[in-house]
Structure 1
Amino acid sequence: MHSTKEENANFSAVTAGRLQVWDDQSKDPSVFTSATGFLNDRQLGIISLVLLSISQLCSVVAIISNSLSITVFVRLGFSEPSNISLVALAASDLACVVLSIWTNSCFLLSSMDVRLPFDATNVSYLTGSAPWAFISRTVAWITAFISFERCLCILVPLKVKKLITSRSTLTAMIIIFIFTFCPFLYVVIRNRFAWIFYPYLNATILDVVPIDNKYIIQIGYIIVVCCGVIQPLLAFFIVLMCTIFLVITLKKLSSWRKSVTSAKSQWQHKPGENPVPNSPPARDRISHKEERLVRMVVAIATIFIVSYTPTCIMLLCSVIFDEFAYFGVYKRMYIVSGLATFLTQTVSGGVNILIYYYMASKFRSALRCLLRLDRQEGEK
């Protein structure tokens, strides 16, 4: 038995982790394209096409880079706990990129009015943008874990080896995944696929139909606030604070080493004196190997902060301004912001391999061996 669009009520859609409620399903969705704001339909189409094109190109690069990163870290083994968290980070980035390609493709086909056997916007929401939003939280919390781990290595260097082991790191990655992705089950429970007949299309297509249950809807609001706003902002704040601490520590260590070098130079001219300055505090004394790892983590965290800032701004705006929503007055700006967050996080996930290559000698050697670059140079 076919049902019509008019039979659906209280349709809920999650875009970038925020639940939007549309209480009147009696109208055709096309009427909402007349929303006012800072952009008109033509400008929205041009900007969306540019962002989608760039995002799709970057996604292909990101798939290759993350696949290589996972392969290299697996080859290096998991004797070092940091390799486990970096593999989990690359795997989460890879999942986000694949989902963004699917979502962007559906959005592009929908904007081109291509006739499809399914509703591209709603189906891609349930199979693309919604899981992407939750997995992007996984990326955020793994980055927060990696940053916090480096802070512990500086604060409690003697105890950290007992605290951070391969087993504890793997356990932490599993907990993070459950903590960030399991709320997606609500989206699955809240919606179902159904074949629906649309009179204005004169066709039956696959669509997403919400389940009308007031208790499920009330639970949804709690999930949205906790997982859609508080959870990502808290992860962002942790990464930001840890990065600031690591940068300050590196600057102190760099200043101390410069002063030691200068003091030794003076001592060579005045052998009777020993003006070598006192050592830095215990928490700031780290080995050269640890220092290189801290610098790599700072680089990863900095790129994350830059790429995740648009997402945080979008989340805050959606909370402060009710009309900044997919079915609000500023729908066009909301769409552009959403596409921009897809792009920035895709770029972030794709450039991490460059950080590993230039700042981790083992990774660089393993990657060159995997790509057989050393052998090619030897043959030349």
Structure 2
Amino acid sequence: MENATSSWLESVLSASVRHTIFSVNSSVLLVLSLAGLPSNILNMAIFRKLGLDSSINISFFSLSAADFFCACIYAVLALIMMDMSGLIDIGVDLADIQFLLATVFVCISTFGSWVTTLISMERCYCVVAPVSVKQVCTRKSTIGLIVGMLLVQVAIIATNLYAVRIYMDRSPEGDRPRAVLDNAGTNGRLFVTLLFWGTSVPTLVCFGVIVLSTVFLAIALRQRSTWLQSLPGQRTGTIAVNRKLIMTVVAISVIYIACFVPSVAVGVLYFFIPALNPFQSEKRDLALAIGSFVRISQALSGVLNIFVYVRMNTRFRDCLKTLLCTLCAQLRVRVYQDERTS
């Protein structure tokens, strides 16, 4: 059954179909990555300006940083795929480098899932125990949890980079040079086990926690608003701020869930159909074709978050306007000075 499924997929993904998939998906991925780079730079700059003295701002800043680095990888992968499909010619065959970047991407993506989980769990705890949330979800505890997961993912990346070797060879499809990824020194079983327990399992657990916490927050949102209004001395502004913060977390979580469903589905597919093992060289094109759809959905997640922040967070929106006005003013001054000197 597994071999039959694999053979069927390979027969469907003929050379022309793979070429079309790479051409279309690489173009879409490049657009999304180029949109994600400036948007996440703005996110990091604004949350830094708003202050990293609160745990929620630290988490949002870390999530934006993860999305930024993912966007960088998306851009490189998109260019490699465009070269493979013949849309552009970068002069070097870098097809093998995709598998090296894939490990880095998976680790950063796992880190982003972890941060999103921390954001969701903090809001859930705020709903359940609003009095003690500031004593539990402190700045130090948030930084410790974020840095801890970051170190785990960096260790996985470093292990992979240490074991592989890259050398230049002649491409079999032409005269241009080809970057060959030699992983002969890698213990395949050990590396797959490390990836499984270090990235796949945490990501799947985070995905499940985010789904449950999002459902909980969506149900509790209305009940909490009613409860706050019934308390004596509660200001309307405080209630609105708390409501918008929960709505922001729910929106970010919904975007995460919707955009990561393809990734989870592909992971489950690989788990139950070992014949589709993406680490086998003969399954390279099939793995790249399937992975191109996953990258697009995840790249979309990193682009959409800024719209949620602008819509839900008044301070973020005001800070963004101020920052953009300052950048425009500096640009006009620079253009004026260039015109005077020319």
The verdict on a shared fold, with TM-score over 0.5 as the criterion, is yes
Deviations 1:75-122 (A, max 9, x none): 111122211110100010000000111012112212329776654111
Name the SS of the counterpart of 1:121 in structure 2: coil
Deviation at 1:330, TM superposition (A): 7.1
Q: Which residue of 2 aligns with 1:170?
A: 143
- CA 1:204/1:104 → structure 2, altered by over 3 Å: closer, same or farther? closer
Match of 1:233 among 178, 200, 204: 204
- CA 1:49/1:117 → structure 2, altered by over 3 Å: closer, same or farther? closer
Deviations 1:248-283 (A, max 9, x none): 1014346779xx8xxxxxxxxxxxxxxxxx88xxxx
Deviates more, 1:95-104 or 1:105-114: 105-114
What are the residue-to-residue correspondences of 1:354-373 with 2, within 5 Å? 354-372=307-325
- CA 1:323/1:113 → structure 2, altered by over 3 Å: closer, same or farther? farther
The answer to whether residue 142 in structure 2 is matched with residue 190 in structure 1 is no
Q: Is the 8 A contact 1:119 1:205 kept in 2?
A: yes
Deviation at 1:135, TM superposition (A): 0.5
- CA 1:70/1:204 → structure 2, altered by over 3 Å: closer, same or farther? closer
Paired with 1:120 and 1:38, the residues of 2 have a C-alpha distance of 25
RMSD between superposed Cα atoms in Å: 2.9
Question: What is the TM-score normalised by the length of structure 1?
Answer: 0.75
Point out which structure has higher relative CO (alpha carbons under 8 A, 6+ apart): 1
The answer to whether residue 257 in structure 2 is matched with residue 305 in structure 1 is yes
Paired with 2:36 and 2:52, the residues of 1 have a C-alpha distance of 23
Name the SS of the counterpart of 1:36 in structure 2: helix
Q: Which residue of 2 aligns with 1:60?
A: 34
Match of 2:266 among 288, 297, 314: 314
Q: Which residue of 1 aligns with 2:335?
A: none
- CA 1:35/1:310 → structure 2, altered by over 3 Å: closer, same or farther? closer
The count of residues paired between Structure 1 and Structure 2 equals 315
Question: What is the TM-score normalised by the length of structure 2?
Answer: 0.82
Letter in 2 for 1:185: A
Q: Which residue of 2 aligns with 1:248?
A: 219
The answer to whether residue 84 in structure 2 is matched with residue 110 in structure 1 is yes
Deviations 1:163-209 (A, max 9, x none): 22222222222112123332122211221122346678677643221
Name the SS of the counterpart of 1:323 in structure 2: helix
Paired with 1:86 and 1:253, the residues of 2 have a C-alpha distance of 23
Deviations 1:26-76 (A, max 9, x none): xxxxxxx99833232212211221111111111111111111111111111
Instruction: Give the number of the structure whose residues are more often helix, by fraction.
Output: 2
Paired with 1:36 and 1:334, the residues of 2 have a C-alpha distance of 10
- CA 1:370/1:203 → structure 2, altered by over 3 Å: closer, same or farther? closer
Structure 2 gap segments, 5+ residues each:
1-6, 232-237, 330-342
Q: Which residue of 2 aligns with 1:78?
A: 52
Paired with 2:243 and 2:199, the residues of 1 have a C-alpha distance of 35
The answer to whether residue 314 in structure 2 is matched with residue 339 in structure 1 is no
Q: Is the 8 A contact 1:138 1:181 kept in 2?
A: no
Q: Percent identity?
A: 22
Paired with 2:152 and 2:170, the residues of 1 have a C-alpha distance of 38
Letter in 2 for 1:339: S
Paired with 1:73 and 1:338, the residues of 2 have a C-alpha distance of 32
Paired with 1:304 and 1:293, the residues of 2 have a C-alpha distance of 17
Deviation at 1:336, TM superposition (A): 2.9
Q: Which residue of 2 aligns with 1:221?
A: 192
Deviation at 1:230, TM superposition (A): 1.3
Match of 1:156 among 117, 122, 129: 129
Paired with 2:303 and 2:9, the residues of 1 have a C-alpha distance of 35
Q: Is the 8 A contact 1:37 1:330 kept in 2?
A: no
Q: Which residue of 1 aligns with 2:103?
A: 130
Deviation at 1:333, TM superposition (A): 5.2
The answer to whether residue 321 in structure 2 is matched with residue 350 in structure 1 is no
